[in-house]
Structure 1
Amino acid sequence: MDSKRLQRVNQLLQEELADIFRIEANKIKQGLLISVTEVRTVQDLSIAKIFISVFPTQYRNSMMNAIHENVPYYRKKLGERIGKQMRIVPELHFFTDDSLDRVDTIERELKGQGNNPEL
């Protein structure tokens, strides 16, 4: 499969899942933000790795647990949305994206607010 098609599939999955999580987050708690930061689909479109960020971060573990418990529900919702564009809905694997936390930690350390010793 050419990479342009794979990129379009990844973008479609990211947009649709982001919309699903936006709706679900509002049902759970006002002010909760669940963002889909990246989607990586294998060549045969059978598996998609979805990277999720949760803000405020204090809800990250509980939300990721809830997402993992409800993977069939999210796959069904996704299938209802993309059924006309894709014949098979990929198997969904969710991961926490903590890249923004790492960026924040590095920025704080560079500003001298971290735990790094003085040189």
Structure 2
Amino acid sequence: MESKRQQKFASLLQQDLAAVFQRDLPHLFPGLPPGISTIRVSPDLGVARVYLSSLLANTGPALLELVRDNSKEIRQALAKRIRQQVRIIPELVFFLDDSAEYAAHMDAVLGKLDIPAETPEDTTDPKTDDKGPAARPKLFADEDE
């Protein structure tokens, strides 16, 4: 579980890194810049794991490769933005966030399940039968009925 300090730092990184992608380095990304879904920061604030999401599903791996190739330039642009606020500029490690694809896959799997509807006969209480309520089970051998 992340501490408050890690969460605040991750939030700061997410805002400034998004600004770097959109304003400082738009020439690196033809079309839409990558979205940042989540940032996880190590306890010493030295490493930030950045999860990128792409609106176009088929460009994900190419986008990740492009970002990884230019990670030094991205880190320098980020450093210019946050150098007055932090002591250490974290090392950025980029990953592709596939949670949306996974959710779509699970939705498709659950949609394919053939679950029969419940019939009225199945709704009877197993504790009772046609004769009335079931007898209470004996807990002890000397218990009277």
Q: Which has the higher contact order (CA 8 A, sep 6+)?
A: 1
Q: Which residues in structure 2 correspond to 1:30-45 (within 5 Å)?
A: 30=31, 32-45=32-45
TM-score (norm 2): 0.69
88 and 98 in structure 1: CA distance in 2 versus 1, 3 angstrom threshold? same
Q: CA-to-partner distance for each residue in 1:32-70, whole Å, 9 max, x for gaps?
A: 251111111111111111111112112111111111111
Asked whether 1:15 is paired with 2:30, we answer no
Q: CA-to-partner distance for each residue in 1:80-117, whole Å, 9 max, x for gaps?
A: 111110021001100111011000111122223xxx7x
How many pairs does the alignment contain? 113
Higher gyration radius (CA): 2
26 and 57 in structure 1: CA distance in 2 versus 1, 3 angstrom threshold? farther
Look up the match of 2:49: 49
The alpha-carbon deviation at position 28 of structure 1 amounts to: 3.1
Give identity over the alignment, percent: 29
Gaps of 5+ in 1: none
Q: CA-to-partner distance for each residue in 1:2-40, whole Å, 9 max, x for gaps?
A: 92121100100111112222344576333x251111111
Look up the match of 2:63: 63
Contact 1:50 1:95 in 2 (8 A): yes
26 and 75 in structure 1: CA distance in 2 versus 1, 3 angstrom threshold? closer
RMSD: 2.1
Look up the match of 1:29: 30
In the aligned structure 2, how far is the partner of 1:57 from the partner of 1:20? 22
TM-score (norm 1): 0.83
In the aligned structure 2, how far is the partner of 1:36 from the partner of 1:80? 19
Look up the match of 2:6: 6
